[in-house]
Every structure is written in C-alpha cells, then in structure tokens.
C-alpha cells in the first residue's frame, strides 16, 4: 500500500526473480498519480489506479524490457475479462466512472479501475503516439498536482489538449459504458502467444514439456495458469504438479493460481496446502479468490465447512478489512 512518504510492501512481493518489482514500480508511481493527483471520490478511482498501472508498465518496459511488460499487460487483460464475468449481474461496476452510492467499496473492489483504466490510456497513446502522450501526461500532472479531480475534469482536459480526440475515441463508451470497449486490445508478442497457445493445448490433455518452459519465471507460469480452463480433471492437476511442483512455488502469484485450479477441479489433495496458504498470508489478493473458490457453487458442503474452520482459526491474524471481506464471502455463499 502506497502512502505519500512510505510504501508498505507485503513480503509476498519478494520472490527471488525480480518479478515482484512491478509492484514496487506501481506503488512508487502512486507518488504522482494517486497522491500528487487524487481522484475526488471512489466513483473516479480509475484516475488513481489506471494511470498508475500505465506508469507501472512503462517502468517495467524501461527496466526489464518490452516482453516483460507484455506479459504484465496480458495477465491484466485476463483479469479484466474475468471481472466482466464476476459483475455480469451488476455491470455498473464494469464502468470506469461508477456510482457507488450506498456501496461498500471493499465489496466491489476489482481490477476494473486498474485494467480498464490502463486500457483507456493505452488506447489514447496508440491514437496520438507515445511522444505526444508523454507530453500530455507531463502537462496533466503539472496542471492538477495537489488537487482532487473527477473523470469529467480529466475528459475536459484531454479534449482541450488533444484536439479532435473525441472524433477517434468514444470517450463516453470508455468512461460510462459497461464491459470492455471494442477498441481495447489484448497484447501481442511471440512469448505471450506461445504461452496462451500452450494453455489451450492443456484443454486437450497436453501439458508443456521441459524444454518449452525451461526459461519461464513466475510471470510466465502465472499467465499460463490464468489461461487454463477453470476446471479440469483432478488427474490433470496432479500430473501438472508432479512435473513442475507449482504447489510448492515460492511465488504466491503462481502458487495461488495453481491452488485455484485445484479447488475448482475438486482436487482435495491440495486442501492442506490451501489451508497453509490461508494461514500464512493475509493479502486480500490471495484470500479473496481462495475463499471464494471454496464456497462458491453447488454441492460444496465439505469445502464450506473447511473454509469456515480455516477462517475461524486464521482470522485474528488478518487485517480488519480482510476479515470483513472474507466474512462477506462466507455469508453470501453459506
């Protein structure tokens, strides 16, 4: 969590391969977008997080290379697509400019302001070119520093400084429309395409062989796991882990993605590892999907009892906000 003069970093970003550096980049970038300029209310939260996610990926590209940034964007794209499914019954929260009157922001917290916000800014960059967009960003920060602004203020500034932008990009669809706009873009690169292709092959029973994954780090595995079917045969889960030991990964992005697959595939062999993870880590990014996976859906009485027991034993170690989020997940599905 970023604060103006100090960033609090969870130990889970220390992975041993520098892949957690993107989180550091994100929180440092908040010094400009989120703190120096702040959204007026949570209805305009994308002004904090969309801009910061864009800045994060520019930093990653500069420091770690374009391929690493593309993987980062691809993981975010998959997350955005999944949020559309999560909010299919209440599409209000797939908008950038939302109405959260009477809503607890923690209940509707999602990747939408981060990833749809990033996609909007990336779309503007593609339209006018990176050099022009960089100049626009510098002027935006200089103009609104030490202020709290809303979406309309940003759009007015955009139209005043990028003449005719509204003739090329439907700004209302991007900010007030639901879902993913048609001119959003999934990233493309050789490594990204290869990983997604390998994930698709898993659906027909083929897992990658050792030489195909020899140079993979945490982000490659995370992208692979994110693109697997949500539920496969338990035997496939066991075979994948027997070969690559994903359940033992020190990278929690990889471990939790694998454990989600195990839960959705009803592969109870890994429930002890799920319990250990839920008791070792208090980060909501991991608690939310694991608890939700355990209790969401039909015919999961054993999993619900398991989740309730684990929470009762672990909850005193969670932050109060995390406690409340997990309690609401259990209450919704119990």
> Which residues are known catalytic residues?
27, 114
In sequence order, the 6+-apart residues with CB closer than 8 A to the CB of 161 are: 136, 139, 140
Q: How far apart are CA 176 and CA 231, in angstroms?
A: 33
Is 333 marked within a binding site? no
Going by their DSSP bridges, the two strands 2-3 and 147-149 should be labelled as unpaired
Assigned token pair, 179: 């879902």
Beta pairing partners, 147: 37
Which residues on adjacent β-strands are paired with residue 149?
39
Q: How distant, in Å, are the alpha carbons of 52, 128, 139, 253 from that of 164?
A: 25, 11, 18, 41
DSSP 37-65: EEESSGGGTHHHHHHHHHHHHHHHHHHH-
- Cα angle for residues 132, 21, 278 (degrees, 5° grid): 130
Q: Does the annotation list 49 as a binding residue?
A: yes
CA angle 98, 103, 105 (to 5 degrees): 75
313 is in an annotated binding site: no
For strand 6-7 and strand 37-39, is the pairing parallel, antiparallel, or unpaired? unpaired
Cα Dmax for the chain: 59
CA angle 94, 99, 103 (to 5 degrees): 95
DSSP string, 202-236: HTTT-PPPGGGSTT--HHHHHHHHHTS-S---HHH
Binding region for Zn(2+): 26, 30, 49
Binding region: 26, 30, 49
């Amino acid at each position: 969590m970023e604060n103006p003069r100090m960033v609090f970093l969870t130990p889970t970003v220390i992975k041993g391969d520098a892949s957690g550096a993107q989180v550091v980049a994100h929180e440092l970038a908040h010094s400009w977008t989120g703190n120096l300029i702040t959204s007026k209310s949570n209805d305009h939260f994308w002004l904090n997080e969309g801009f910061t996610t864009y800045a994060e990926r520019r930093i990653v590209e500069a420091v770690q290379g374009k391929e690493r940034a593309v993987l980062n964007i691809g993981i975010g794209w998959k997350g955005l697509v999944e949020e559309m499914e999560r909010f299919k019954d209440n599409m209000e929260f797939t908008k950038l400019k939302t109405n959260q009157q009477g809503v607890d922001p923690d209940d509707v917290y999602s990747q939408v302001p981060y990833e749809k916000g990033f996609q909007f800014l990336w779309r503007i960059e593609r339209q006018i070119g990176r050099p022009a967009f960089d100049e626009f960003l510098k002027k935006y920060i200089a103009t609104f520093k030490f202020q709290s602004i809303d979406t309309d203020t940003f759009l007015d500034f955009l139209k005043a400084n990028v003449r005719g932008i509204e003739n090329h990009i439907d700004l209302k669809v991007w900010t007030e429309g639901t879902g993913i706009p048609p001119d959003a873009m999934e990233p493309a690169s050789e490594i990204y395409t290869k990983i997604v292709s390998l994930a698709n092959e898993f659906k027909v029973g083929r897992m990658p062989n050792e030489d195909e994954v020899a140079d993979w780090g945490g982000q490659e595995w995370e992208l692979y796991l994110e693109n697997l079917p949500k539920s496969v045969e338990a035997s496939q889960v066991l075979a994948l882990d027997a070969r690559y030991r994903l359940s033992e990964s020190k990278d929690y992005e990889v471990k939790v993605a694998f454990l989600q697959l195990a839960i959705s595939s009803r592969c109870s062999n890994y429930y002890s590892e799920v319990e250990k993870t839920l008791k070792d880590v208090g980060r909501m990014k991991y608690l939310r999907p694991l608890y939700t996976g355990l209790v969401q859906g039909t015919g999961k009485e054993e999993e619900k009892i398991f989740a309730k027991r684990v929470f009762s034993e672990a909850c005193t170690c969670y932050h109060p906000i995390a406690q409340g989020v997990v309690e609401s997940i259990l209450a919704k599905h119990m």
